Structure 1
Amino acid sequence: MFPINSTVALGHRALFHPRVPPRGTCSRIISLRLQRRSRAPSCIYRDSLSQCQNLPSSTRGVATTTPSAEVISDHEFLLFRDLLTQVGPKPRIEESRRDVTPSDASFKTAGTRIAASSTDDRAEHIPNPFRRALEALQQRDTRRLLIYLQQIARLREAEIPELVAMLPRTTFTEFFRSLDPLYVARDVDPIGHALITVGVYQVLSMESTIDDWGVRQIYSQLLRTMLLLGGALKASGRALQVEEYIYLLRCAGAASDPAGAKLIWDELRHTPDSDWRHGEVFTEFIAARFLTRPLYTSHDKIRRMVIPRNLHRSRLRLSQNRVYRLDRLRFNTRLRRLRFGLIKDQAFAEDLMRTMRKKGPASRMLGILLEDGYRVSEPLLCALMVAFGRVGSLRFIGSRLLDDYFGIRIRRLTYKEAPDGDIKRNEIDSGPFRIRPTIRLMQAVVETYGSNGEIALAFQLVDHISKTYHITIPPSIWQDLLEWTYIMGSSAASRAWKQAGMFSKLPHNSSVELIWNAMTSEPYHIQPTFDQYNIIIRSLLGRHQFSASLPLMSDAMHFYHAQCREYEEAVLEYVQMIRDGARISEIVSGYERARFKRGRMHYDIQSWCRKFLSGVRSFEPANPVAIVAVPDFIRDFRPFIMNPARYRTATGYVSLFDPGQERSVRVFTGDVPMAIPMKHRRKWIHQKVKPKRFGVLSRNSLSGNSTVAKLGLLKLLTSTSRRPNRVLYKSEKDTVAENSDLMEESSYDDDDDYF
């Protein structure tokens, strides 16, 4: 690949020559160009472009072509715009909830409402989208299939059942199978398995992909589309199959809608095919009802954490003073988390996990398993284990699930200190098992015990399963152990366990380092990734161990440089594709993922630098670290430090402004009104608050979706933002001036989100 400077200097001629492709061009792009020259005359491109001009901007497909490779216009870019971008106004809570959950009667009512709300007068000019959807289905192109199904949703209400009746019944099963959220997450979702905290959401400007509740918008749209297809199918006189209900349950789980999953399950129970229900359907229902998969909570462990306030009067009873302090702590942390993790259709602010705090729903799941006679399998038992872990039933999990089915006996639940000062470890034995443990059980164990603050027991169980059954611990398990340990050791989580009097839930200060050393040493010897470096560096900086964190930060920088090179290659391939007039979903997905990874890594490194400079304030003014190490640190990490850099010395504060670096500015984007339940004078009230939401004007954000012609190659290679450079109006200048001072002292530390 060309270096950045030489590539920019050569200009468009070196990359996009009209006849001879540059060296290193993808073979698929060359073959597409040759096929277009040999088969397609220029009139075909003009006809295709004239047809696409009649389409709405949000339904233009990926498989369109352009008439010329010289200039990319705004209209051509709109044909190829990202599926994840939401250009219309955001729906209200009631409307969003009504669209994503089926009614009690049938799917027909829900599908009719969705179709009626998305009807467009221009739908008469749209060609039959089912034909294009079938082509995308044959090519296994999930992105194109989603786009064409959005076109189907824009058809008139009376047209959809007629078109559905014309297609074979097996075609819809293939539609549902191809729209499985697990496939969508693999092929379309650019965020992948990354965690999006409130800080990432605001700094990277991810409003187009993440809604106000922290749920990825693509899965909410996917659930609406699937309900629309199900309603149209039932309106045509056909019935949904059991396999299709599985995909509907997964869509409800991916949209973080446990109530919707319950309604879908009730709909299945009243169908003639209810006798054909099997263990896989029940497993998917438990997973969607209790959000057991990481995808169902947007890979956010903070939302899955069991807090002591939710255990009150369900597993234990706390005093009123402790309950009051826990409520105040929950109130303060909610102000920093905005609406992330709340229920969408609730009039007041209530966490999703709080609806699962009682042991009744999980016990009913076990009763259904025993009464209906489902086949007991490892996925079903792991889902039940996580479901009982949501309500803190750890002793029941150890005696009825681990012991009865997997042959794992836990003699002691927590650490206990002996009179001689020694700490007795949990005694874990193995006996005869009905189901042999696998990596799936390891994941369920870490999720169950890690979310309940039992980090030591989770690590012992994973180590015991690995040594007893000769199973290698994968890197994902180590990642989960590190994350849960870091979350439980954060200030908000540790304060909650202390106020509840559960000191055994508190991990040691060096627990993250202990797991890190065990992971990187023999016999495991795991090569750390950037995400694992991120956790250990944050842990060391939080304990003010700067000398131990600097070498790790230098090692982690290699991952960032490798990601920058990957992003440059993805940009060149993406621009080459647009210039050639091709529309390849794999190239688009590769560009979007490389763009997000680079922006996310830049945010993480920037947070390290912010922690380092803010930690210098806790030192003595005459400490040599502030005199020698800090200037060297600013020189080495210059692109990631906020401009101006500010730190403390023996004589005061030093502020260094670099005119060659960008100055990130925080701007106010709006209020987030909510009503938080609080107890005042023995009565429950709804405390109304308006937390402020901010955005950051930076070239490292993910805001904007401008065309390539407006941005240029240099802009794409050096910035992840797709927002064009423009002159601020007077009102915007005043807003920037008011918030520029706040930006210097503001902190988007993820520790505030770990509760």
Structure 2
Amino acid sequence: MFAASPVVELAGSRTMACRGPRGTAPPALALRVRRWPQPGSTGRHAGLRAGAATRPSLTTGIYCRFGLNHEARRAAPTWAASSSRHSGFTPEDAMLLDTLIRSQERRVLRDGDTVTSHVGASGALPSGTSAAMSVHGPKFQGEQTERLIAALPTPFQNALQAMQQQDSRRLLFYLHQIVAMPEDEMVAAVQTIPRTTFSEFLRSLDPLDVVPENDPTHGVHINPGLWMVLNMGAIIDEWGVRVLYARLLRQMLTLMRALHASGSVLNVNDYVPLLRAAGASSDVAVVKLLWGQMIEHGISYWRQGSIYNEFVKARLLVEPAYFGFDKTRLAMTARNLHRRGRVRLHAETIGGLDRLRLATRQRSYRFGLNKNIPHAEDLSRIMRKPRSATRMFYYIQHWGFHVTERLLCSLMRGFGRAGALRFIQYRILEDYFAITVRQNKRCDEVYVGPTPPRTTPHKDPLRSRTPTMKPSARLMEAAIDVYCSNGYLSTAFTIVDYLSSKHRIPISPKAWFELFEWTYVLSSPAVSTGWNYVGFRQRIPSTDAVEMIWNTMTSPPYKVEPGFKQYDLLIRSLLGQSKIHQAMKYMESARKFHQKQCADCESAALEYTRARQTGVDATAALRRFQRARFLKEYMWHRMNGWCNDLLKHKWRPKELHEGSRWIPDVIRDWRDFIRNPVQYRTATGFVEMYDPAEEIPEWIHVRDDTLRVPVREGGETHLAEIHQAQYRVASKHSVGNLMSTRLSPLAILKGDLIKARKRTRRGRLYLARQAERLTAMSDERISSASTFSGQGDGPDGEGQGEADNWDDDDW
């Protein structure tokens, strides 16, 4: 065992401190690194923590504020240079620290069991406690914990049991029962639970671990068309957010309020699942409230680099799950570039871009909007200013937090949302990775190479002269996201090529798929029209860019095997360019994915039916069946879109006769993916074909909504109203609102949905009743921010879609 020195110095202004945990003491004493504010600082974070009674005196001690790897640190005065009698870490404290460390290794063998001895937070045994009692501490505490848990209400006991069994589905079910309890009973139960058990329970609700197992749509972008056609109102709310994410956030905030009412506060690590849940719900307001609450409760000095990484990802919506796997939501647009740097757009140009946004919002409903304001504001408008990311970057550097590649990549994506590419080039790529990116605007040439060694220090003392990190595949993916989201596709390709050749980083299939998808997004009419309107045509890919990337990644030496999503993007790109015959070739190849998925859905349905009949636990079988059913209908919807584009194609006069003879063959081969009736154009008019053996999808009106979009005209900004009508399609392809406990899986497999609904008392008026419910809830919608502040009509809140009532077999 080492002997602690009288003075301990770590990176930045830090000193070793120990703090007794709340509630039941853990089996081992946790030692944490604690940071002290700079004397005289009046910052937003440091100023609030300057008055703690346990902090050392900083009137005479001077410390170094530079990073650990900075050359100026060697000559700067540190804690070691200050007087020991004024230092907060005395020789007696060093002896106490050595005693605490030694006591953790003391083991006592009694009755064949190994028991760890415990000491108090001050290093001595509690008064009136003998050594024998301290030996039996863990056993006594375990029995006491079991008695406390046995006295809890039944929902809490079942939830803790599900947590121990790692059954996330039962855990979410009993969590719904917990938050439905009366407030006084919930507070009393939370006060009874040991503090460490409550922290573990809260961390078991991490959405990044719970939701992928319980959300069949995880990893798939749900657009408004798919939302209506597949009747997914119970899965995706009107903001385009998973209902499971929004419900989980409200429930976790209710637990947090109950903990505060019992007289305790959350630990720093307990805020990680809350930040992730707020980010997954795309609720930036709750993220900022949670971050500010750490300061109010006096625990902000426990923050480490990992906590800042989670905050940056949630605040700037970095993770794909945080923006609904939709790259168009947070991509930089020409409208957001106004007054960014040297970009100044004319008033007429701004008006035209606002009208373009108004036209694209017509059929997007509320997807991708900020839910905390009454009018329509895109999430990209919140991220368009780099002030929050810049302030966080300098704060992390100033206080000497450990900077990792994960944190830098998250900050890069945050700066990319605001279009701050120069900051990324100089302060991140050059300072940390020694990568220089230069672009010649005259000839549109991009240079990417190593940064030459610097002989003189920077004017800014926080900038290091030598780079400290080596690039990896994570940096490659972050660079693709940053530069492609801003329209610099060629720059992203050059950086990928440089990292692959210079640093021997292989180009993964994920990187190829990201480049391929971003190329399709940038060439789509909604994005390319805006860049073309302001004259930034260099940010629009060429017409054959999508096909060129496809040929490159599927040919040697890469030989990447694309999936159904990549085939979908390629086919839609070819159909948009009127390359019908090439698109048909790839449609035949993509059809194999749907055939395989149909076989998986059949086997999953039979497995689930067998599990229900035998009476065994059918949770795993149900999850597989729901996932397989959704993917099958998702593929059908995308292939139905291909067929609609083919039938709606405007043939040239010389090709019209050939197309008229060719379309019947297409209808015969792809009849399973074409809606009934089908209509197409001929030389003399239109032909409509009706199949009486197939069902006709019913479009049921759900509700009318009015959306107010800011539009600037005549030098003034006014709110233009958009009247939108929402519909749901009742057909055999609907995947929402199906109770698997009341509906036979074989009926779902056969597609006999309408008859099954009649048998389960869910007739045609079901969606109309849901429309009345949504209309009544639209005026009483309670956001997660109001739940955070303790307002609302219940612990669970209201108004987050069509699936507030949780069922064990609902999803």
Q: Answer whether TM exceeds 0.5 for this pair.
A: yes
Question: Could you tell me which of 290, 296, 305 is aligned with 1:279?
Answer: 305
In structure 1, the partner of 2:544 is 510
Aligned mates of 2:486, 2:593 — CA distance in 1? 32
**Residue 504 of structure 2 is aligned to residue 478 of structure 1:** no
> Deviation per CA, 1:283-310, whole angstroms, max 9, x where unpaired?
1111111101111111111111111111
Matched, 1:532 2:566: yes
SS in 2 for 1:539: helix
Q: Is the 8 A contact 2:700 2:727 kept in 1?
A: yes
Aligned pair partner of 2:493 in 432, 441, 459: 459
Residue 427 (structure 1) aligns with:
447
Aligned counterparts, 1:336-355, within 5 A: 336-355=363-382
Distance between the aligned counterparts of 1:401 and 1:549, measured in 2?
42
1:605 to 636, 639, 653: 639
1:248 maps to 2:274: yes
Deviations 1:329-369 (A, max 9, x none): 01111111111111112111111110121222222122212
Deviation at 1:711, TM superposition (A): 4.4
8 Å contact from structure 1 (residues 538, 608) kept in 2: yes
- Opposite residue 144 of structure 1, the aligned amino acid is R
Deviates more, 1:466-475 or 1:371-380: 466-475
Q: CA deviation at 1:408?
A: 1.6
Contact 2:660/2:681 (<8 A) preserved:
no
Could you tell me how far apart the structure 2 residues matched to 1:223 and 1:730 are? 28
Taking a change above 3 Å as real, the CA distance of residues 719 and 285 of structure 1, as seen in their structure-2 partners, is: farther
Question: Residue 724 of structure 1: CA displacement?
Answer: 1.7
The letter for the 2-side match of 1:429 is G
Give the length in aligned residue pairs: 601
Question: Aligned match of 1:407 in 417, 421, 434?
Answer: 434
Distance in 1 (CA, whole Å) between partners of 2:320 and 2:156 is 33
- Counterpart of 2:543, as a letter, is N
Secondary structure of the 1:411 match is strand
Preserved CA contact (<8 Å) 2:175 2:251 = yes
What is the SS of the residue equivalent to 2:701?
A: strand
- Which residue of 2 is the match for residue 262 of structure 1? 288
* Counterpart for residue 594 of structure 1: 628
Instruction: Give the C-alpha shift of residue 197 in structure 1.
Output: 0.5
- Equivalent pair of 1:639/1:661 in contact (CA under 8 Å): no
Q: Could you tell me which residue of structure 2 aligns to residue 382 of structure 1?
A: 409
| Code of the aligned partner of 1:502 | F
Alignment match, 2:361 = 334
The AA in structure 1 aligned to 2:703 is G
Q: Does the alignment pair 1:170 with 2:199?
A: no
Alignment check: 8 A CA contact 2:605 2:745 kept: no
- Gap change, CA 1:731 and 1:508, over 3 Å in 2: closer
2:61 matched residue in structure 1: none
Do the aligned residues in 1 keep the contact of 2:743 with 2:756 (CA within 8 Å)?
no
Where does 1:354-753 land on structure 2 (aligned, <5 Å)?
A: 354-412=381-439, 417=443, 425-431=445-451, 433-615=467-649, 617-620=650-653, 622-623=655-656, 625-707=658-740, 710-711=743-744, 713-718=746-751, 724-725=757-758
1:720/1:292 CA distance change after superposition, 3 Å: farther
Q: Following TM superposition, by how much is the alpha carbon of 1:433 offset from its aligned partner in structure 2, in angstroms?
A: 4.5
CA contact (8 A) 1:331 1:676 kept: yes
CA contact (8 A) 1:314 1:359 kept: no
1:396 is displaced (CA, Å) by: 1.7
Q: Per the alignment, in what secondary structure is the counterpart of residue 158 of structure 1?
A: helix
What's the CA shift string for 1:37-90, capped at 9, x where partnerless? Answer: xxxxxxxxxxxxxxxxxxxxxxxxxxxxxxxxxxxxxxxxxxxxxxxxxxxxxx
Deviation of residue 166 (structure 1)? 2.1
What SS does the aligned partner of 1:690 have? strand
Matched residues in 1 for 2:159 and 2:573: separation? 48
CA contact (8 A) 1:443 1:477 kept: yes
Q: Distance in 1 between matches of 2:240 and 2:214?
A: 18
CA gap of 1:720–1:248, structure 2 versus 1, over 3 A, is farther
Q: What displacement does 1:707 show? A: 5.0
Q: What amino acid is aligned across from residue 203 of structure 1 in structure 2?
A: V
Cα pair 2:436 2:450 within 8 Å, conserved: yes
Q: Deviations over 1:391-436 (max 9, x none)?
A: 111122122211211122112166x54xxxxxx6422113584212
Give the unaligned 5+ runs of structure 2. 1-151, 452-465, 772-811
Q: Is 1:323 the equivalent of 2:343? A: no
Is this contact kept in 2: 1:537–1:608, CA < 8 A? yes
Q: In 2, Cα distance between the equivalents of 1:444 and 1:555?
A: 31
On the 8 A contact 2:278/2:314 being kept in 1, the answer is: yes
Contact 2:728–2:767 (CA under 8 A) maintained in structure 1: no
Kindly state the Cα deviation for residue 710 of structure 1 after the two structures are TM-superposed.
Answer: 4.9
Please name the residue that 1:753 is paired with: none
* 1:37 corresponds to: none
Counting only pairs closer than 5 Å after superposition, residues 9-48 of structure 1 correspond to structure 2 as none
Normalization by structure 1: what TM-score?
A: 0.76
Tell me how far apart the structure 1 counterparts of residues 767 and 307 of structure 2 sit (CA, whole Å).
Answer: 55
Gap change, CA 1:709 and 1:210, over 3 Å in 2 = closer
Distance verdict in 2 for CA 1:394–1:720, change over 3 Å: farther
- Contact map agreement 1:701 1:721 (CA 8 A) in 2: no
Instruction: Provide the residue aligned with 1:81 in structure 2.
Output: none
Q: 4+ residue runs of structure 1 moved beyond 6 angstroms?
A: 719-722, 729-732
Does structure 2 conserve the Cα–Cα contact (< 8 Å) formed by 1:385 and 1:397? yes
**d(CA) in 1 for partners of 2:723 and 2:654?**
39
Change in CA separation of 1:367 and 1:715 when aligned onto 2, cut-off 3 Å: closer
| Structure 1 residues 350 and 578, CA gap change in structure 2 (3 angstroms) | same
The question of whether the paired residues in 2 share the 8 Å contact of 1:133 and 1:149 is answered with yes
After TM superposition, the structure 1 = structure 2 runs for residues 62-77 of structure 1, keeping only pairs within 5 Å, are none
- What CA distance in whole angstroms lies between the structure 2 residues aligned with 1:656 and 1:467? 57
Going from structure 1 to structure 2, the CA distance change for 1:475 and 1:190 (only over 3 Å counts) comes to same
TM-score (norm 2): 0.71
Q: Deviations over 1:232-263 (max 9, x none)?
A: 22222222111111121111101101111111
SS at match of 2:694: coil
Give the 3-state SS of the residue equivalent to 1:322 in structure 2. helix
Give the distance between the partners of 1:233 and 1:675, measured in 2 at CA: 39
Query: Which stretch of the first structure deviates more once superposed, 161-170 or 137-146?
Result: 161-170
Is this contact kept in 2: 1:705–1:723, CA < 8 A?
no
Cα 1:720/1:563, change in 2 over 3 Å: farther
Identity of aligned residues (%): 40
Distance of 1:471 and 1:567 partners within structure 2? 38
- Which deviates more from structure 2 when the two are superposed, residues 634-643 or residues 712-721? 712-721
Q: Is the 8 Å Cα contact of residues 235 and 736 (structure 2) preserved in structure 1?
A: no
Distance 1:280 1:709, change over 3 A: closer
The CA RMSD over aligned residues, in Å, is 2.4
Structure 1 unpaired stretches of 5+ = 1-125, 418-423, 736-755
For 2:646 and 2:724, how far apart are their aligned partners in 1? 27
CA distance in 2: counterparts of 1:644 and 1:582, whole angstroms: 44
Over 3 Å counting, the alpha-carbon distance change for 1:347 and 1:405 in structure 2 is same
Deviates more, 1:220-229 or 1:682-691: 682-691
Is contact 1:706–1:722 with CA below 8 Å preserved after alignment?
no
Alpha-carbon distance change, 229 to 622 in structure 1, aligned in 2, over 3 angstroms: closer
Of 578-587 and 717-726, deviating more is: 717-726
Q: How does 1:268-307 map to 2 (within 5 A)?
A: 268-307=294-333
Alignment counterpart, residue 310 of structure 1, candidates 319, 336, 358: 336
Say if 1:459 and 1:176 are closer, same or farther in 2 by CA, change over 3 A. farther
Contact 1:568 1:717 in 2 (8 A): no
| Aligned-partner Cα distance in 2 for 1:479–1:368 | 35
Q: CA deviation at 1:459?
A: 2.3
* Residues in 1 aligned to 2:606 and 2:743: alpha-carbon distance in whole angstroms: 16
Q: Which amino acid aligns with 1:662?
A: E
